[in-house]
Structure 1
Amino acid sequence: MKKIDKSLMANSVMPDENGFFGEFGGRFVPPMLEPLMQEITDAYIKIKDEPSFIQELTDLQKHYTGRPSPIFYAERLSNELGGAQIYLKREDLNHTGAHKINHCLGEALLAKKMGKKKIIAETGAGQHGVALATAAALLGLECDIYMGEVDIKKEYLNVVRMRILGANVVPVASGLKTLKEAVDAAFEAYLEDPVTQLYAIGSVVGPHPFPMMVRDFQSVVGVEAREQFMDMTGKLPDNLVACVGGGSNAIGLFTAFLYDEEVKMYGIEPAGTSFETGNHAATLTLGKPGMIHGFKCYLLQDENGEPAAVNTVASGLDYPGVGPQHSYLKDIERVKYESINDKETIDAFFTLSRTEGIIPALESAHAVAYAIKIAPQLGKDKTILINLSGRGDKDIDFVVEKYGKAYGL
């Protein structure tokens, strides 16, 4: 990796006052929404440093979420691969089973302090929806979750969990009936009543201030990991690996290490079943700059410049855009973005399950697969830290139905 340009990195750590990371990000919303978005920005900027807010969020992270999440040395997997030593940041052990609870608690607390009555959001794999429904129940807020009909069928366990928690799950039947359409529907619902509702975006995407805000709430992952890894090994990890759809879990891990030139970072996108036919969601690999959902980022586009249809085995990565900070980190070459296909993902799902007794979410299995690929190429003195962003309970029925026979089930 080339030497880090600190003048460029300063912008990658915090967007400018208009929410831009270089040319990416910003806030491109209808005029009627501009003052409401600014209200959210002002409220967040004011509240994020208030001791009472910090203390309340910290207490919830510790006593409700179960933070800090541990780092686990995957010794059997490392020995089987015969190369770099693999470690897992266990975000799958958080209450609700993924990293999503980190920003959902923050967004729900913000909504409460702003006097909002309801929080609404989209969800793909359902982890953000479950986490937000959980936060809403905890804080006494109404909650609407928009979810594509394809994902409702695929991730039905999470749909049931959301309903048990009191959320209203709204099926989305337009387009491909997946994550992008769920985002569209949630934005439309927010426009109908932006005064009493807060749209709690589920990743580091959307108009400013959401990419900044979600990143800040997720940065606890990297802050913890840095200290934990130093305590365990006496040094920083040589490599960080995390899956990237919108990019919240990856930014959560990467942010604490951005200035450490010796730490290589890899964001792993879905190669799906075929680059040639477009059945993938590898935005940073094959996309180009464009606009989606009120911000500028790398974007997979069709022949008309519209967001392209995407496809991946992991519903939570099924998005044609990506966080603007990831777009910027790609351009300045601080993070290398690679892709893993569906077969490699399923192989990794079963490999981790059967070597370490940990069933990963299909999203996280993309990161595991990439670590499995590169570990044998590295010396045994090298280390890889994977952000295991979620657990695979939600995916079991789908995996067994579609792939079970091939893996002896």
Structure 2
Amino acid sequence: MSKYQVNQKGYYGPFGGAYIPEMLYPNVEELQKKYLSIIQEDNFQKEFNELLRDYVGRPSPLYYAKRLSKKYNANIFLKREDLNHTGAHKINNTIGQILLAERLGKKRIIAETGAGQHGVATATVCALKGLECVVYMGEIDIRRQAPNVARMKMMGAKVVAAQSGSKTLKDATNEALRDWINNPVDTHYIIGSVVGPHPYPDLVATFQSIISEETKKQLFEKTGNSLPDYVLACVGGGSNAAGMFYHFLDDEEVQLIAVEAAGHGVNSGESAATTALGNEGILHGSRSLLMQTKDGQVIEPYSISAGLDYPGIGPQHAWLFKSGRGKYVSVTDDEAMRAGLQLTQLEGIIPAIESSHALAHLEKMQVDKNTNIVVCLSGRGDKDLDNYMKYFGF
């Protein structure tokens, strides 16, 4: 067992666990007891892999970005999760969790979403399987991610606005947890990131691990070496990064770089750079790092990216940061937007603003022409066109 993976008690080092109200114990305990045996069953794996291949469109390509590589004098490969059905990595997890929910006999699915990609992916698999779907989304995110809201509604999902707090991802998560408490018997909560009580961080990372599993094989085919020098991914809660890092965790020669959202600047008061600003605490059912006041009140995060403005990170990321296995950095809104436009104009690929944060860090790296870098392009930028247009005045 890797020292960077979850232990039998649900912890990554000092982080993780299940800090939940009593009414949620039956749900979470059922998951803890059954999830590993269910997802390891042959018929589960067969259906999961068939859907990933025939429905999602995997494997997603590992693309050598020739002009971007020339710009930075390195070999830059993009793991094209943006080419998945629904336009992001989120579908990998929702396919797995809907199959798990079916086997647990659940008839109703709830989810939270920020950028809307997880909401779309959840609505998609509910339509596929004919299950009721309710998605909680912050009121502000509903406004700035209107195309994804329309997609969810077309799929038959009910989209419920979270109107408390910052009216973004944290608040949508709070509302989804309340719903689960009130509907414990027939409802499964498909959490979209590597957050929440055990076993969710491990469950989501396991389903997303297909990203790095494919990457190793594809990089070997292209370079003769399955191990890059660097792996980059953006981090809010951290599911695309968890999947991108998963099969490299014990390859200590591979540098893992997670890029958080600095917003208007790490110390501007409008940021979501959790590892720079956060302290240990409990958020949404697990012990991790989170942005909080001295008396433990959650500080509202900010990012131009609706998928990164979360006030904490998943417990595995907290452990990778604390243990030194991962390097956690941040870039500002401005840096991310410029990087997104640059990729568009160099390679003809419009990235999600979340993914643009990872791309922006390339500017800050010391590399040479023999350096192999893999960047997780976690999502496509269709959903963000309005933001790009406003920012650049197109």
Matched, 1:175 2:165: yes
2:141 aligns with one of 144, 148, 151: 151
1:129 aligns with one of 113, 119, 127: 119
Q: Hey, what's the Cα distance between the residues in 2 that align with 1:319 and 1:140? A: 31
> Structure 1 residue 57: deviation in Å?
0.2
Q: Within 5 A, what are the aligned runs for 1:251-270?
A: 251-270=242-261
Which residue of 1 is the match for residue 239 of structure 2?
Answer: 248
| Structure 2 stretches lacking a partner, 5+ long | none
Q: For 2:68, give the aligned amino acid.
A: L
| Structure 1 stretches lacking a partner, 5+ long | 1-8
Q: Deviations over 1:61-119 (max 9, x none)?
A: 000000000000011111123x2211100000000000000000111111111111111
> Structure 1 residue 387: deviation in Å?
0.3
Q: For 1:389, give the aligned amino acid.
A: S
Matched, 1:302 2:293: yes
**The residue matched to 1:59 in structure 2 has which SS?**
helix
TM-score, scaled to structure 2: 0.98
Alignment coverage as a number of residue pairs: 393
CA RMSD of aligned residues (A): 1.0
1:192 aligns with one of 182, 185, 193: 182
2:355 aligns with one of 364, 384, 387: 364
Q: For 1:72, give the aligned amino acid.
A: Y
Which residue of 1 is the match for residue 33 of structure 2?
Answer: 42
1:239 aligns with one of 209, 230, 236: 230
Q: Hey, what's the Cα distance between the residues in 1 that align with 2:162 and 2:48? A: 32
Which residue of 1 is the match for residue 109 of structure 2?
Answer: 119
Q: Hey, what's the Cα distance between the residues in 2 that align with 1:197 and 1:256? A: 32
Contact 1:61 1:67 in 2 (8 A): yes
> Structure 1 residue 175: deviation in Å?
1.1
Please list every run of at least 4 consecutive aligned residues from structure 1 whose deviation after the TM superposition is greater than 6 angstroms.
Answer: none
Contact 1:270 1:340 in 2 (8 A): yes
Q: For 1:12, give the aligned amino acid.
A: Y
Q: Deviations over 1:146-190 (max 9, x none)?
A: 000100000000000000011000011111100000000110111
Q: Hey, what's the Cα distance between the residues in 2 that align with 1:204 and 1:276? A: 26
Q: Deviations over 1:218-239 (max 9, x none)?
A: 0000000011001101112110
Contact 2:2 2:250 in 1 (8 A): no
Contact 2:266 2:276 in 1 (8 A): no
Q: Hey, what's the Cα distance between the residues in 2 that align with 1:36 and 1:141? A: 18
Which residue of 2 is the match for residue 6 of structure 1?
Answer: none
Q: Deviations over 1:201-259 (max 9, x none)?
A: 01000001100100000000000001100110111211000000001000101010111
Matched, 1:12 2:4: yes
Which residue of 2 is the match for residue 160 of structure 1?
Answer: 150
Matched, 1:213 2:197: no
Q: Hey, what's the Cα distance between the residues in 2 that align with 1:120 and 1:290? A: 25
Q: For 1:384, give the aligned amino acid.
A: I
Q: Within 5 A, what are the aligned runs for 1:312-351?
A: 312-351=303-342
Q: Hey, what's the Cα distance between the residues in 2 that align with 1:259 and 1:45? A: 21
Contact 1:18 1:27 in 2 (8 A): no
Q: Hey, what's the Cα distance between the residues in 1 that align with 2:249 and 2:387? A: 36
**The residue matched to 1:170 in structure 2 has which SS?**
strand
Matched, 1:222 2:222: no
2:379 aligns with one of 387, 390, 405: 390
**The residue matched to 1:98 in structure 2 has which SS?**
coil
Contact 2:23 2:181 in 1 (8 A): no
Contact 1:119 1:143 in 2 (8 A): yes
Q: Deviations over 1:31-87 (max 9, x none)?
A: 222122110122212211100000000000000000000000011111123x22111
Q: For 2:178, give the aligned amino acid.
A: E
Q: Deviations over 1:12-31 (max 9, x none)?
A: 12x12221111100001112
Q: For 2:128, give the aligned amino acid.
A: L
Q: For 2:93, give the aligned amino acid.
A: H
